[in-house]
Amino acid sequence: MTPIRNVAVIDVGKTNGKVALFDVVEGRESHVHSTANTVLKDGPYPHYDIENLWRFFLDGMRKIGAQEKIDAIAITAHGASITLVDADGHLALPVLDYEFDGPDRLKAEYDAVRPPFSETGSPRLVCGLNVGAQLYWQAKTFPEDFARVSSIIPYPQYWAMRLTGVRASEPTSIGAHTDLWNPYARDYSSLVDAMGWRKLMPEVGTAFDILGTLRPEIGEATGLPAGIPVFSGIHDSNASLLTHLKADDPPFSVVSTGTWVICFSVGGKDVALDEARDTLVNVNAFGDPVPSSRFMGGRAFALLEADAKAEITDADRDAVLDGRVMLMPSVPDDSGPFVGRKGGWRGDEKALTPGGYLYAVSLHLGMMTAVSLELIGADGPVVVEGPLAANTTFLETLQAVTGRPVMLGGSGVTGTAAGTALLALGRDARIASHSRVAALSPDPRISAYAAEWRKISEDGQG
């Protein structure tokens, strides 16, 4: 096969959908097209506007293909989503928005059948964050529609199926806190057999598999030539992790930031994970279990409405650090190391300037991330990917609290796009590390501030 250089990456994020071209030789992302990932309120429950995303992805590839040669297509998507496909390849039920609380209405029933944390590494989460809970609720609530399901397909592989016509599954997505996967046995969990779903599960391959080539009608719609290979696809946070698995030597940890802040520990300390604190076992692109933790950091930043462009002055730092103005966990309160805690502010945040408010919010996110890393036994350098890599206060807080070097991943591009494109190099290829040590000068007062915040948080006084 001709060497692959230019990979069109389809990125289905919780907030936005994106199509971009990634040059795996130069490590460069270009021709980026983005759209909002809309949640529709019609139909049986809130669900993603799949057809709008589909039209956007085709149009994006058409625009890119008109300017550059596309050698391959690879897909990444957020977790906590699954698709129910009928015999004709259509959705038997809409793709449920995982923030919808419908599955919680059958919580007691589902809790009675779901496997233990020791089997799946999947903590019990709210709403539809456990895919197993989604499926259970859909099967019980819409039995006639569910009876038409011929395949239960992870979200990235759904888009790959629409491009190629081939149905598949792979571990990074089916193993992302779904309750459906046993990462230690590398097989579907006991829940899948108990519910009779195994017959609906496609064959499990790897994210590195070429699922097939572009269907002729897709080629006509996009102007792309026949025979373009399409890779199976990968869970988005695991795409970020892959760039480091191929480049860096353990121990290290990766903090992938976006709507969610996802922490991975590679080669870290052996610790017992606590499912009550939003720790879990993810499955990397090679099928290996990875201790992980998470909280909705990007969502918190949006809800708190901090101005990311505000200037932070020395007076702002004094007001926050000396005045002990602290945001206590958790925002939102349904995820993270202090899940369920309703903390709020200590001190007068309304007296802060926009810069001071941004500083306090950024400190909070850094401290939440440091706790999340500690809970999974993280060791070695901390590599930060995504939007928060541009937040100096966040990075300085991480360095001050963890006492370990903080590094910036990639070279101006997010790890998600790079990792997804790197599937085209195959599982055995190594790459040069582009992580670089962040030049930071943390305020020496951060350590004491963080210790006080931690004590209050752990004591439940927030």
Which CATH number describes the domain made up of 248-459? 3.30.420.40
* Contacts with 299 (C-beta within 8 Å, 6 or more apart), sequence order: 259, 260, 332
* % of residues, the chain, pLDDT over 90: 88
Of 73-82, 155-164, 204-213, 380-389, least confident by mean pLDDT is: 380-389
pLDDT digits (tens, 9 = 90+) for 277-312: 999 999 999 999 999 999 999 999 999 999 999 999
Residues 390-403 as b/e (b if ≥16 CB within 10 A, e otherwise) read ebebbbbbbbbbbe
Residues 196-234 as b/e (b if ≥16 CB within 10 A, e otherwise) read ebeebbbebbbbbbbbbbbbeebbeebebeeebbbbbbb
Whole-number mean pLDDT of the chain? 95
Supply angle C-alpha 239, 163, 1, rounded to 5: 75
The letter for the amino acid at 421 is A
* % of residues, the chain, pLDDT over 70: 98
Domain boundaries, given as residue ranges, for the chain: 6-232, 248-459
Question: Which DSSP symbol is given to 404?
Answer: S
**What is the CATH class of 6-232?**
alpha beta
pLDDT band (50, 70, 90) for residue 411: low
**For position 240, what pLDDT does the model report?**
85
Minimal CA–CA distance to 100: which of 80, 73, 120? 80
Question: Which DSSP symbol is given to 96?
Answer: B
DSSP 201-233: SPPB--TTSEEEE--HHHHHHHTPPTT-EEE--
DSSP 303-333: HHT--TTPPPPHHHHHHHHTTT-EEES-SST
**For position 343, what pLDDT does the model report?**
82
Give me the mean pLDDT over the 409-414 stretch.
56
**For position 412, what pLDDT does the model report?**
43
The partner residues of 188 in beta bridges, in order of sequence, read: 181
**For position 178, what pLDDT does the model report?**
98
Phi/psi for 392 (5° steps) reads -60, -40
**For position 461, what pLDDT does the model report?**
57
Q: What is the pTM of this model?
A: 0.86
* Contacts with 344 (C-beta within 8 Å, 6 or more apart), sequence order: 327, 328, 462
| Domain 248-459 in the same topology as domain 6-232 | yes
Residues 97-117 as b/e (b if ≥16 CB within 10 A, e otherwise) read bbbbebbeebeeebeeebbeb
**For position 142, what pLDDT does the model report?**
98
The dihedral of CA 340, 341, 342, 345: what is its sign?
negative
Element (H, E) at 198: none
Q: Residues 38, 40, 44, 47: what is their CA dihedral angle, to the nearest 10 degrees?
A: 0
Question: Which DSSP symbol is given to 133?
Answer: H
CA 179 to chain centre: 17
**For position 147, what pLDDT does the model report?**
98
Contact call for residues 308 and 358 (beta carbons, < 8 A): yes
Give me the mean pLDDT over the 118-135 stretch.
96
Phi/psi for 7 (5° steps) reads -110, 125
pLDDT band (50, 70, 90) for residue 334: confident
**For position 316, what pLDDT does the model report?**
98
- Strands 261-266 and 252-257, by their bridges, are antiparallel
pLDDT band (50, 70, 90) for residue 410: low
Give me the mean pLDDT over the 165-183 stretch.
97
The partner residues of 384 in beta bridges, in order of sequence, read: 255, 408
